[in-house]
Amino acid sequence: MIEESQLSEPQEATWCIGCGNFGIRAALKQAAIKLEVPHEELVLISGIGCSGKLPHYINMNALHGLHGRPVPIATGVHLANEDLKVIVITGDGDCLGEGLGHYLHGARRNVNIAVFIHNNGVNGLTKGQYAPTAPRGYESKTSPPPVGSPMMPVLPLPLAIVNGATFVARGFAGKRKMLIDLMVQAVQHKGFAVIDILQPCVTYNHELTWKYFNSHTYSLEEEGHDPSDKTAALEKAQEGYDNLPLGLFYKAEKPLLKEGLAIPKDGKLRMKENDLQKLQEIIDRRVIQ
């Protein structure tokens, strides 16, 4: 239902030449078309970072908000209109540093949104400091040698699985077909869907490069991994940078957040008012006789 021309970039992308974000954007365009939904029903909610600028480079409804807060914003958008397909575009610093709490709570609420983490191991926009996903020892301006980053990386996928997310996957900006496929599935999935997207930052990250990811990743599907097996998924999701699995780790069906809330039957809060007669009854019950 969406034509490629409808998505054409409102502004010319300011990403560095060779940046992984281009591959992610290209995949997102194809996924949007494949989803076969009306153009107006797609919404991007992005954080702050190189990744967070994506909504300006693809023509879709969007709210480009605050650093770390796209998950709660997306939750509000989704609950106010459940027809919308709400996609969070977030960086690893955004989602797993500043916004880690929201990420975990989004997962345990199983709120029906899709979260695409542009994982480049660095805070790109602030010029290359180590991000929460950087491996221990990663050297940057704020994690100088000899020690480099003095801590273990955050592992977004095991966290998501343990905390209740119901669609957990990893993609790579350089494996377009697989990424498109995962994006379509994540958006269609009913529940909290996460894709950890390996996104080379050509300017600042000289360890996690295109070449590195091409030679240090493998396909879960080809290995015969069963995404309904939570234990196996959790084990796979903890495998480190030496050899990263790609594809769908875990998928399950669980009650959705909105099923526990008093959202009107048509799933929309947009421009609604309250039934004043009912409210009057509620107030009248309080009148002292």
Partner 1 sequence: MDLNFNIGGVAGQGIDTIGDLLAQLFVGACFYTHTIKSYRSRIRGGYNYTQVRVSSEPVYAPVDEIDIVIALVKEGITRQRDQLVDGGVIIFDKSIEFEDMESCHFPAPLKETAEEVGGSEKMTNVAAVGTLLSVLNFPFSMIEDALSVVFKKKGDNIIQKNIDVAKSLYEYTQKEFKSKCRHDLTDAEKGACRDWLLLNGNEGLAFGAMAAGLKWISAYPMSPSTSVFQTIMQSAQELEIGALQTEDEIAAINMAIGASYAGARTMVTTSGGGFSLMVEGLGLAAMTETPIVIYDAQRGGPSTGLPTRTEQSDLMFLLFASQGEFPRVMFAPKDPQEGFEVAIRAFNLADRFQIPALILGDQHFADSILNIEHLDVSNVEIDRGKIAPDDIEDYKRYELTEDGISPRAFPGDKGKVVVSTGNAHLEDGHVTEDPIVRKAMVEKFLKKTPQILEEMQEPRIFGPEDAKTTLMTWGSTWGAAYEAMKILSSNGMSINQLHFCDVYPLRDETLRTIFDTADQIISVEQNSTSLFAKLVRMETGLAVHHEVNKYDARPMTARWIMKQLKEAGIE
Binding site for Mg ion (CB under 5 A): 91-93, 120, 124, 131
Q: What is the x/- site pattern for ligand TPP, positions 256-275, by CB under 6 A?
A: --------------------
For residues 266, 268, 270, 275, the Cα torsion angle rounded to the nearest 10 degrees is: 60
| H-helix or E-strand spanning residue 88 | strand 85-91
d(CA 31, CA 36) in angstroms, rounded, equals 9
Distances from the Cα of 82 to the Cα of 9, 76, 77, 140, 225, angstroms = 26, 10, 8, 42, 32
CB of 180 to Mg ion, least distance (A): 22
CB of 98 to Mg ion, least distance (A): 11
Return the structure tokens found at 273: 């008012």
Which is closer to Mg ion, CB of 132 or CB of 227?
132
Pairing outcome for strands 167-172 and 193-198 = parallel
Q: What is the x/- site pattern for ligand SF4, positions 181-220, by CB under 6 A?
A: --------------------xxxx----------------
Q: Judged by CB under 6 A, which of 37, 125, 234, 263 binds ligand TPP?
A: 125
* Residue 114 contact among ligand TPP, Mg ion, ligand SF4, none, beta carbon within 5 to 8 Å by kind: none
Report the phi/psi class of residue 224: left, alpha or beta, with left for phi > 0 and alpha for psi in -120 to 50: left
Return the structure tokens found at 165: 């997310």
Return the structure tokens found at 248: 């769908």
Return the structure tokens found at 184: 């379509």
Q: For residue 78, state whether it binds ligand TPP (rule: CB under 6 A).
A: no
Which is closer to ligand TPP, CB of 125 or CB of 162?
125
Q: For residue 120, state whether it binds ligand SF4 (rule: CB under 6 A).
A: yes
CB 192 within 8 A of CB 272: no
Which is closer to ligand SF4, CB of 50 or CB of 155?
50
- Axis crossing angle, helix 70-80 with helix 100-109, rounded to the nearest 10: 30
Distances from the Cα of 193 to the Cα of 11, 165, 276, 277, angstroms = 28, 6, 38, 40
CB of 21 to ligand SF4, least distance (A): 5
Which is closer to ligand SF4, CB of 131 or CB of 220?
131
* Residue 103 contact among partner 1, ligand SF4, ligand TPP, none, beta carbon within 5 to 8 Å by kind: none
Which residues in 32-71 contact ligand SF4 (CB under 6 A)? 50
Which residues in 19-38 contact ligand TPP (CB under 6 A)? none
Which is closer to Mg ion, CB of 191 or CB of 200?
200
Amino acid at 231: T
Which is closer to ligand TPP, CB of 70 or CB of 227?
70
Strand partners, 115: 88, 194
Which is closer to ligand SF4, CB of 57 or CB of 204?
204
Sites of contact with ligand SF4 (CB under 6 A):
15-16, 19, 21, 50, 120, 124, 201-204
